[in-house]
Structure 1
Amino acid sequence: MSDGPTYGFDTLQIHAGARPDPATGARQTPIYQTTAYVFRDADHAAALFNLQEVGYIYSRLTNPTVAVLQERIATLEGGAGAVCCSSGHAAQIMALFPLMAPGKNVVVSTRLYGGTITQMSQTIKRFGWSATFVDTDDLDAVKAAINDGTRAVFCESIANPGGYISDIPALAKIADEAGLPLIVDNTSATPYLCRPIELGATLVVHSTTKYLTGNGTVTGGAIVDSGRFDWSASDKFPSLSAPEPAYHGLKFHETFGPLAFTFHGIAVGLRDLGMTMNPQAAHYTLLGIETLSLRMQRHVENAEKLAKWLEQDDRIEQVTYAGLASSPYAERAKTICPKGAGALFTCALKGGYDACVKFVNALEIFSHVANLGDTRSLVIHSASTTHRQLSPEQQEAAGASPNVVRLSIGIEDADDLIADLDQALAQAHG
């Protein structure tokens, strides 16, 4: 699209990054199912490998289908650039990769997806990195957790599983004062509901598997760079500010400016980590994004109806949906997610663990799967699945106690969903 008019979200979700195929005139973005690309000549190849010219070398690094998706996601998030990869977990590692080094740490929220907690508390230790977990609602605790070895602050915009809303502007202010990037996982909100970069975030990560694709067909991840962080302001980020030996001393920030993180993610991250998104996955995600705003409106509408119904039911102890007036996050949601508080939340069942198991088994429309963000309504008992590896204290902090189930509300008929919940609760309570 041209740089002239400023287009609305609904237009950009269809057109950003995409142009008719110059060879065939194909209007839909083709799936470029190829591993390699022919160079014009030896000088062209050398220029590409020296990062002196932008183009296609090998599909581990760049691919035309994936490139369209990267531009579209970056545009919708208001970022300078984006790198797509094989999964949301890959996106998190790739976001940290240029920032961290052995002995360095990242300050992370206690309210995260269980797999992310395991990744941050266990797996990153193998790189010599560490994570300090804090309740990010306690801003003093966040400040206290930052030390000389800290290289980033990490949170989720709408936290999985509880649907809690992070105070992104406040966390961004703390990170900025410490000279650190704030990384926000925007998977549960999508850029339709929340724009972390506008709220002060440096980097945004996604599991594109979820709402962006929306149909439960492919896995993928994305890292979006705001382009606003000064990587050369200190010596904390040598991967971006210091000479890069693999490229004859090139300095990424000096050379690429606002696109430094994006170029590093491709030229070093994808080159060496190999967490590549395949072009067919990119194609499915592009198709999903074309209807993102329409789907998210229905997701939110249904979530509000179901959460209100559940809150009034005597068989339910608590509902954590931030779109409820009773939620402690209701006011924050109005500024962080002005178009709605998402479609992900938990409910605590009277009867504890056993009632949760019976409830999940009795549901008919809701699918019992380890996923969220599908057009279909989904359910999972986090304590026995996604958060099973965590200690009871960690489960409690993450909002995944044994008496809690996570609901991802789809776009079906809301009355049908309520009827399904009603009959399952009846079976759960005998």
Structure 2
Amino acid sequence: MTAPNFAFDTLAVHAGAEPDTATGARQVPIYQSTAFVFKNADHAAKLFNLEEVGFIYSRLTNPTVQALAARIAALEGAAGGIACSSGHAAQIMALFPLMQPGCNIVASSRLYGGTVTQFTHTIRRFGWSATFVDTDDLAAVEAAIDENTRALFCETIANPGGYVTDLDAMAGIADRHGIPLIVDNTTATPWLCRPMEHGATLVVHSTTKYLTGNGTVTGGAVMDSGTFDWSASGKFPALSEPEPAYHGLTFASLGAMAFTFHSIAVGLRDLGMTMNPQGAHYTLMGIETLGLRMERHVANARKVAEWLENDPRVERVTYAGLPSSPYYERSRKITPKGAGALFTVTVKGGYDACVKLVDAMKLFSHVANLGDTRSLVIHPASTTHRQLEAEQQVAAGAAPNVVRLSIGIEDADDIISDLDQALSVAMS
């Protein structure tokens, strides 16, 4: 069920799913099967030649996983997309069809620490590289692009600082240089922002976070707008030139589904970053309540941030939903329903006070995750951003005197009470 005229909350429940034709099961079944039986030899040949769409082997496609990909695509307004094993896998899957040895991306300096590490070190083993810039400095973004740049990469709401990116401006720069804009929409979710409506070509998610929402499974997704002309510049030969493994098929000839089919037929085939069907099932169930949860997440975050901003034990709160934030007006444009539920707090007393605060929490869980129904806390400088140099930590909004809060859906007064008692311990 993919009717595009349905509202968000209806799509969150129904998109990508129909009653099972074999049993009538209303919930999407967990198709826990490695392989799928062909009708006959001709059917098998057509599937392997990409002449017909269907299921072959679960490393490529699986009915449960495909239902999840279709649901996220509907929520993002995408032409198509894939689900994969993690958010980090999604980033590699997004770059894989675009890059060759010697190519680079221009990325925001305000990214999740693991992403900065992946782009600084790991992708170099493929012969790729990344240049990090402050995306608030649009001139610097444009200046960093060269003839080997193949994409711009940013987050809608940056992790950990909660800063909001000017997606329209970034898309404009990408368009001028004939390259795609890739947006990590994990912390915003399509309930707060649909980056493709602001000009993004590709959207990636760690489905582990808000989309699943219950801290049970890891997963990722790559969604494609279907609007980019992969043949226009000659920069993307994987998509615009004949593919030897498929008898000279040019993926760009498949139109709006070019990137998606390449990601399945080449990316998942050879990289194997496959999501398991049980994980997809958990995420499908989580998405059913995404709108309800996000409404509470945002309302709680706003109330907690306002309280923290007025607390004398706190130096600064980075929540973009506060009128004092330099991102307040941008947030009203990019994420009009609210500024999300992730932000940082600069605690008076520095590093030691942050550590004491984290250890004193009772309701908050100290975990390396975000987007759970539970409120979560972490000290990025000693954990998620620990591998970064001091300058990178500061640039990413993860200085030593900062803690990151992911506000859950508990009663807001209980969340504030826990912060109050923990701040008292931190100041003692």
Shared fold per TM-score greater than 0.5: yes
| Equivalence map 1:325-336=2 (5 Å) | 325-336=323-334
| TM-score calculated relative to the size of structure 1 | 0.99
* Deviation of 1:300 (Å): 0.2
| Equivalence map 1:113-262=2 (5 Å) | 113-254=112-253, 256-262=254-260
Contact 2:305 2:317 in 1 (8 A): yes
Alignment partner of 2:197: what SS? coil
- Structure 2 distance, partners of 1:123, 1:9, is 37
Q: Which residue identity is paired with 2:15?
A: A
Q: Which residue of 2 aligns with 1:48?
A: 47
- Structure 1 distance, partners of 2:20, 2:308, is 49
Contact 2:2 2:74 in 1 (8 A): no
1:24 and 2:33 matched: no
Alignment partner of 2:354: what SS? helix
| Equivalence map 1:40-119=2 (5 Å) | 40-119=39-118
* Deviation of 1:318 (Å): 0.3
* Deviation of 1:59 (Å): 0.2
- Structure 1 distance, partners of 2:149, 2:5, is 38
- Structure 1 distance, partners of 2:34, 2:354, is 47
Contact 2:2 2:16 in 1 (8 A): no
Q: Which residue of 2 aligns with 1:337?
A: 335
- Structure 1 distance, partners of 2:136, 2:149, is 19
Alignment partner of 1:176: what SS? helix
CA displacement 1:45-74 (0-9 Å, x = unmatched): 000000000000000000000010010000
Alignment partner of 1:198: what SS? helix
- Structure 1 distance, partners of 2:202, 2:261, is 14
Alignment partner of 1:69: what SS? helix
Q: Which residue identity is paired with 1:194?
A: C
CA displacement 1:217-252 (0-9 Å, x = unmatched): 000000000000000101100000000011011000
| Equivalence map 1:262-411=2 (5 Å) | 262-411=260-409
- Structure 2 distance, partners of 1:372, 1:224, is 21
Q: Which residue of 1 aligns with 2:426?
A: 428
Q: Which residue identity is paired with 1:371?
A: N
Q: Which residue of 1 aligns with 2:415?
A: 417
Alignment partner of 2:228: what SS? coil
* Deviation of 1:192 (Å): 0.2
Equivalent residues, number: 428
* Deviation of 1:85 (Å): 0.3
Alignment partner of 2:142: what SS? helix
* Deviation of 1:356 (Å): 0.2
- Structure 2 distance, partners of 1:165, 1:238, is 33
Q: Which residue identity is paired with 2:128?
A: W
RMSD: 0.6
Q: Any gaps of 5 or more consecutive residues in structure 2? A: none
* Deviation of 1:170 (Å): 0.2
CA displacement 1:93-149 (0-9 Å, x = unmatched): 000000000000000000000000000011000000000000000000000000000
Q: Which residue identity is paired with 1:381?
A: H
- Structure 1 distance, partners of 2:426, 2:168, is 41
Q: Which residue identity is paired with 2:273?
A: M
- Structure 2 distance, partners of 1:105, 1:417, is 43
- Structure 2 distance, partners of 1:386, 1:10, is 33
CA displacement 1:132-188 (0-9 Å, x = unmatched): 000000000000000000000000000000000000000000000100000000000
% identity of equivalent residues? 75
Q: Which residue identity is paired with 1:228?
A: T
Q: Which residue identity is paired with 1:208?
A: T
Q: Which residue identity is paired with 1:411?
A: I
| TM-score calculated relative to the size of structure 2 | 1.00
- Structure 2 distance, partners of 1:62, 1:7, is 26
Q: Which residue identity is paired with 2:288?
A: E
- Structure 2 distance, partners of 1:235, 1:359, is 53
Structure 1 runs (4+) greater than 6 angstroms displaced:
none
* Deviation of 1:2 (Å): 6.1
- Structure 2 distance, partners of 1:102, 1:350, is 46
Q: Which residue identity is paired with 1:382?
A: P
Contact 2:375 2:405 in 1 (8 A): yes
Alignment partner of 1:354: what SS? helix
* Deviation of 1:6 (Å): 1.2
Q: Which residue identity is paired with 1:246?
A: A
- Structure 1 distance, partners of 2:6, 2:411, is 31
Q: Which residue identity is paired with 1:198?
A: E
Contact 2:315 2:348 in 1 (8 A): yes
Q: Which residue identity is paired with 1:227?
A: G
- Structure 1 distance, partners of 2:92, 2:70, is 21
1:8 and 2:7 matched: yes
Q: Which residue identity is paired with 1:92?
A: Q
Q: Which residue identity is paired with 1:163?
A: G
Contact 2:2 2:15 in 1 (8 A): no
- Structure 2 distance, partners of 1:155, 1:173, is 14
